[in-house]
Amino acid sequence: MPRKVIELSMLCSNDTKGVNVTLQQDLPVYMGHECYAYDLQLKSHTGTYFETSSHVFRGAKDTEDVKLDKFILPGACLRVKTLQRCITAEDLKAIGGKLKAGCALFVDVGQDTTKYFSRDAAQWMAKSEVKLMASNAYRYDSGFENPTGFFIDLFKAEIPIIGNPVNLHLLPETDFIAIVLPLRIAGICTVPCRAIAIID
């Protein structure tokens, strides 16, 4: 049976906030063909992005400090159906039981992207030895005013995130491989990435 590959990254264009693509001037000509080249400007939190603990903690891991084997992980997807906006450790435990240690955890909130995570949800992920976390919730915390503190314990545990993933509804609960490939840029905590899932 052939493998199925699921795109988890947003498509970005000049219409995407934080993206500016312009065709360079004075393009070289190769055997009568103009060789196109572009100037590309990207904000770090653009489209689907990869983010590490130095987003919150100075001196913590930047994106280039994450080892390659942490970009290719067994995946698990939990589908949250609680009516409350705040997703707690109890909510995750009820649907996830005991996750396989070392997994990439995707939390699918469906159409209700207003949901966010409690601080004890991060503690549960750390205890479950999650190595990478992603969700289609618009914000992972409640915001800068009265935050839950989710990112404090998540990044203390050195669990990086994928922001703005898409197509989580296509993921099975288990038995897939998650691959995330951030741009290799030094000295940065957040960078756009390509993320996919492979299902055997």
DSSP for 6-51, please give it.
Answer: EE-S----TTSTTEEEEEPSS--EETTEE---EEEEE-TT-SSEEE
pLDDT per residue of the chain (200 residues) written in tens, 0 to 9: 678 999 999 999 999 998 999 999 999 999 999 999 999 999 999 999 999 999 999 999 999 999 999 999 999 999 998 889 999 999 999 988 778 899 999 999 999 989 999 999 999 999 999 999 999 999 999 988 889 999 999 999 999 999 999 999 999 999 999 999 999 999 999 999 999 999 98
Q: Which two tokens stand for residue 25?
A: 């001037």
Write the CB contacts of 146 (distance below 8 Å, at least 6 apart in sequence).
none
Query: Which residues in 114-143 are b (16+ Cβ under 10 Å) and which e?
Result: ebbbbbbbbbbbeebebbbbbbbbebbbbe
Domains and CATH numbers, the chain: 4-10+44-199 (3.50.30.50)
Residue pair 17/38 in contact by the 8 Å Cβ criterion: no
Residue that is written with structure tokens 């693509």 in the block: 21
